[in-house]
């Protein structure tokens, strides 16, 4: 840990789970904890052990399984809470007990019914009790942003004297503004005599939409730890979003002069896992991890990105886990984007053919929000263009089920009449099928996109399969129709491979 390194304290499994409708079972919490370990967060706040038997067990399991990362359990400044957290963290490699107590006048008067002197006494007592179990104790002054500055200084100084290694200054109800919050952090650094003995942490809520801005302002003012959640989930309007804070620090290193240990390429995978397991969908225009975060539809923007990515992108999509920039083709798209996509699909058009296709593309785009690859192939008449049958599907077989290893076998007929048979296993039947085709053709492809849609209605509907397959750095489209989706998948994949093989022959 260097002075320039910001500690990322992830509270997705504690504060994030408090989002209405986001309850997680034990196995789901452990699954997310494993992904957070891959993301390389510094601290995982695994839960609030005293709150329920389930939360106690999930903290215990995470403490047993996660190595190399601090695992924290939350506790009020009450002995039974601290005892429960200590038991849950017994097997942790790096246990931390996170003790909290409200300090603001409104909480003292209406929730706790206690005077300032009692608050200081309880805070110190809570830290001292936690230190009987672990060396790493964090203390949170709940509702710090609405606490009188002199009293906040008094409490922080007292808990550091008592042995707290981290003092957290939460904006519990999202009330602060960036300048105000930064001034609170600077005030603590300037006026708490023993502040050099502890890490200053910040924990911001998003009630006014300022959680990330407040957190970054605090970092600039000297905070060394940020408490945040994946996708910004949490109570009410949520918490500061981990992915936004991390990428702001990375992208604007020139301004913040700070860094993190986060493996940013795991951000998309982590975001999607949390979204799937909590059922809380990520809005399309969400920064960093939203579906539109690296998508461009304006023709001017698309043209700029094609010529030089940095014209309209300040981050590389690959850095956060996306495969590449997404150019969404629609009525605002220009010639350059349309021409680029045609080339990516593996086709060459004369200038005259391109102009006719572009005119038809604009006509269709006026009727549809988004023009897909299959629409483009229809526009350029791919159904009428002969795709050489270098490889033909003669037969296939699939074996799969809950207790069966997915296996697929294919028989292909080559141009010279020879038959090739291969059988492989995969993560699922389609994965196994495509691997068998790769083995039989000798042209390994990387599946980039796979879509199925019904062409007709009814249980015997015709199914249309579209695939995008990357071969040697180029993405080629394939399409096929059948009442058997497995067969359509194999033929669509072969359709793309045949295009590649034809280009190789030429």
* Gyration radius from the chain CA atoms: 28
Residue 336 DSSP label: H
239 annotated ligand-binding residue? yes
3-state helix, strand, coil in the chain (%, to 5): 45, 20, 35
In 3D space, the residue among 191, 185, 179 whose CA is nearest the CA of residue 154 turns out to be 191
98 annotated ligand-binding residue? no
Specify whether the CB–CB gap between 284 and 290 falls below 8 A. yes
Specify whether the CB–CB gap between 88 and 52 falls below 8 A. no
Instruction: Supply 336's token pair.
Output: 């350059």
Q: SS3 for 474? A: strand
Helix 116-130, helix 149-162: angle, nearest 10:
30
Instruction: Supply 470's token pair.
Output: 């990357």
**Those residues with Cβ within 8 angstroms of residue 143's Cβ, 6 or more apart along the chain or in another chain:** 102, 103, 104, 106, 107, 170, 172, 173
194 annotated ligand-binding residue? no
Whole-angstrom Cα distance, residue 17 to residue 491? 44
Characterize the bridge pairing of strands 463-471 and 446-454.
antiparallel
CB atoms within 10 A of CB 118: 12
Whole-angstrom Cα distance, residue 227 to residue 41? 11
Q: SS3 for 322? A: coil
301 annotated ligand-binding residue? no
Residue 312 DSSP label: T
**Those residues with Cβ within 8 angstroms of residue 359's Cβ, 6 or more apart along the chain or in another chain:** none
Q: Which residues pair with 181 in a beta bridge?
A: none
Buried b (16+ CB within 10 A) or exposed e, 129-147: bbbebbebbbbbbbbbbbb
Specify whether the CB–CB gap between 315 and 265 falls below 8 A. no
- DSSP letter string over 197-233? GSEEEEEEB-TTS-HHHHHHHHHHHT--EEEEBGGG-
Q: Where are the beta strands (DSSP E) in 358-462?
A: 391-401, 404-414, 419-425, 446-454
Binding positions: 15, 203, 205, 239
Binding positions for Mn(2+): 15, 203, 205, 239
């Amino acid at each position: 840990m260097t002075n320039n390194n910001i500690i990322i304290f992830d509270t997705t499994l504690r504060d994030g789970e408090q989002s209405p409708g986001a309850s997680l079972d034990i196995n789901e919490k452990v699954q997310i904890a494993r992904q957070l370990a891959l993301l390389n967060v510094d601290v995982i706040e695994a839960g609030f052990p005293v709150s329920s038997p389930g939360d106690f067990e999930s903290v215990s399991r995470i403490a047993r399984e996660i190595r190399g990362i601090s695992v924290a359990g939350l506790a009020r400044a009450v002995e039974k809470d601290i005892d429960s957290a200590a038991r849950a963290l017994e097997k942790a490699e790096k246990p931390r007990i996170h003790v909290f107590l409200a300090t603001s006048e409104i909480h003292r008067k209406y929730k706790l019914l206690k005077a300032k002197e009692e608050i200081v006494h309880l805070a110190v007592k809570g830290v001292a009790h936690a230190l009987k179990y672990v060396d790493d104790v964090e203390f949170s002054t709940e509702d710090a942003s609405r606490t009188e500055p002199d009293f906040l200084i008094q409490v922080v100084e007292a808990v550091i004297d008592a042995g707290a290694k981290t003092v957290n200054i939460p904006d519990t109800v999202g009330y602060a503004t960036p300048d105000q919050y930064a001034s609170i952090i600077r005030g603590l650094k300037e006026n708490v005599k023993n502040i050099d003995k502890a890490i200053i942490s910040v924990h911001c809520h998003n009630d006014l939409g300022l959680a990330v801005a407040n957190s970054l302002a605090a970092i600039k003012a000297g905070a060394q730890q940020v408490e945040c959640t994946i996708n910004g989930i949490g109570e009410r309007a949520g918490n500061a979003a981990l992915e936004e804070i991390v990428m702001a620090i990375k992208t604007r290193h020139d301004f913040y002069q700070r860094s993190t240990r986060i493996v940013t390429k795991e951000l998309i995978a982590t975001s999607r896992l949390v979204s799937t397991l909590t059922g809380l969908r990520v809005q399309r225009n969400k920064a960093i991890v939203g579906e539109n975060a690296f998508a461009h539809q304006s023709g001017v923007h698309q043209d700029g990105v094609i010529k030089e990515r940095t014209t309209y992108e300040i981050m590389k999509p690959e850095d956060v886990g996306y495969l590449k920039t997404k150019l969404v083709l629609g009525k605002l798209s220009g010639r350059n984007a349309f021409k680029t996509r045609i080339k990516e699909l593996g086709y060459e058009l004369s200038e005259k053919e391109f102009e006719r296709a572009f005119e038809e593309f604009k006509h269709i785009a006026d009727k549809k929000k988004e023009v897909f690859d299959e629409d483009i192939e229809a526009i350029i008449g791919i159904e009428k263009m002969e795709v050489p049958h270098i490889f033909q599907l003669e037969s296939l077989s699939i074996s799969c089920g809950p207790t069966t290893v997915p296996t697929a076998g294919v028989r292909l007929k080559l141009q010279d009449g020879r038959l090739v048979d291969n059988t492989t296993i995969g993560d699922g039947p389609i994965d196994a099928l495509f691997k068998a085709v790769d083995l039989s053709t000798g042209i390994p492809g990387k599946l980039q996109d796979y879509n199925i849609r019904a062409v007709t209605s009814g249980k015997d509907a015709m199914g249309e399969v579209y695939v995008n397959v990357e071969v040697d750095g180029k993405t080629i489209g394939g399409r096929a129709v059948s009442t058997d989706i497995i067969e359509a998948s194999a033929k669509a994949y072969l359709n793309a491979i045949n295009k590649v093989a034809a280009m190789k022959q030429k």
